[in-house]
Amino acid sequence: MTETKKLHVVLFPWLAFGHLIPFFELAKQIARKGHKVSYISTSRNIDRLPKLSQKLNYSIHFVNLSLPLTKGLPENAEATKDVPLDKVQYLKKAFDGLESELTQILVDSVPDWIIYDFTPYWLPPIAGKLGISCAFFSTFNAWSSVFFGPAKDIIDGNVQRTKPEDFTVPPKWIPFPSNIAFRLYEINRFFGHGQENISGVSDWHRFRASVSDCDVFLVRSCNELEREWLDLLPQLHQKPVVPVGLLPPSVQDTEGNKRDAWGFINNWLAMQREKSVVYVALGTEATPSQEELTELAHGLELSGLPFFWALRKQHDFLLLKLPEGFEERTKNRGIVWTSWAPQLRILEHDSVGVFLTHCGWGSIIEGLKFGKPLVMLPFLGDQALNARGLEEKMVGLEISRNEKDGSLTRNSVAESLKLVMNDEKGKIYWEKANEMRKIFGNRDLSDIYIDDFIEYLHKNKSLCID
């Protein structure tokens, strides 16, 4: 890079931790290269981000916004993890209320770039008037972005996918063989998100406007993983597309501020055989039903395998219970951990063999960073598409569900776990996951993508036209 001028980059993510964290990882990488970063979100969300190590001198300025009080939104709810699915529409309405405060911040600071999410459809015109270049950042991979199609066509109706069944086959603009598609029960769960809601603006319209009016489309991916999908994106959106790499988080990046918890977990893992433990984590957004939770628990029990289950603390709106006597019956070989769990440290441990995951893109990156084969149990949105793509690459096995209603059985859970962990047929998943480690865990490769991305920001910061 010949350009040495320091940039000022603003990042403005949607209020979901599957978005807040990737934006945070991107912020760290931009700051690590010596540029000024303003990370803008609500106060409570900023407080819940991983704490940066004192050893790292990142130039990140956190800007706290006050989420407007909104009828229908519970008190102190500032992220999707704080509300049930049907209340997310109220969170979007409150989010739109941040427009005025954010505009004033941009007027006062006039950054070189603003990097934003799918939600603030109103932001690109504001940036244009202020002469600020704007980048849409997809926290999903390219195959998920490609599957949903051209942003312009989504809103103009040029793509005739109007009913759930239309999403159960690969779309016509994918020119090569692929199994990337939803099952009918999955798209039925997801389909209502495209409709207008209490905010008055559908997710489809938000996405369309955010992408159509950006200067560049950024994607959390790399050519080594999905070049053919990345090549399709510029054709679909008629925008420059820049992959920023996989942004694999580093264990060393965060302060071990809950060392007592890790000390106990580490001691337990150290007593297990190498590569023998199933690590179970379903993320912050995926919420199983009571029936799914019950079958998952019984499946773990039936498998006979050691397990560490990071079962997030449940909210008042959904109080799920483990089967009676489950923890007592499995206490000699498994742990159910209901408080904060250091996922990166757990996945890094030699005793962990298989990762049972909901297939959020961030969790997949963390698992494959350490070469862990996946047992996949998707719930929402792109998680299903990720499961299809990763099964195609043979790095994991999806737990089978009933094709009609998506119901889960304990036998399918147990059989999937035992096949990947111990069966001769499961060796291919270990081999392929270990190969993926060379991509997902490659810090040098990640640095190359960040350098190329920063160079792009330097060269194109005047793209924005009023």
∠ Cα 366 442 419 (to 5°):
50
Q: Enter the pTM of the model.
A: 0.93
Residues of the chain with pLDDT under 70: 1-4, 54-57, 153-160, 191-196, 253-259, 313-318, 462-466
- Would you say 281 and 310 are in contact if contact means Cβ atoms under 8 Å apart? yes
Per-residue pLDDT, 285: 76
Q: In what helix (H) or strand (E) does residue 278 lie, and over which residues does it extend?
A: strand 277-281
pLDDT at 340: 85
Q: Which structural domains are found in the chain, ordered by start?
A: 8-247 (3.40.50.2000), 257-441 (3.40.50.2000)
pLDDT of residue 204: 83
Q: What is the pLDDT of residue 317?
A: 47
Q: CA–CA separation, 65 vs 47, rounded Å?
A: 12
Which pair of tokens denotes residue 217? Answer: 């489309």
Q: Pick the closest to residue 413 from 312, 296, 328, 248 (CA basis).
A: 296
At residue 456, the pLDDT reads 97
Contact 351, 371 (CB under 8 A): no
Give Cα separations from 426 to 374, 376, 417, 430, 434 (angstroms).
11, 14, 9, 7, 13
Concatenated DSSP letters for 327-374?
Answer: HHHTTTTEEEE-S---HHHHHHSTTEEEEEE---HHHHHHHHHTT--E
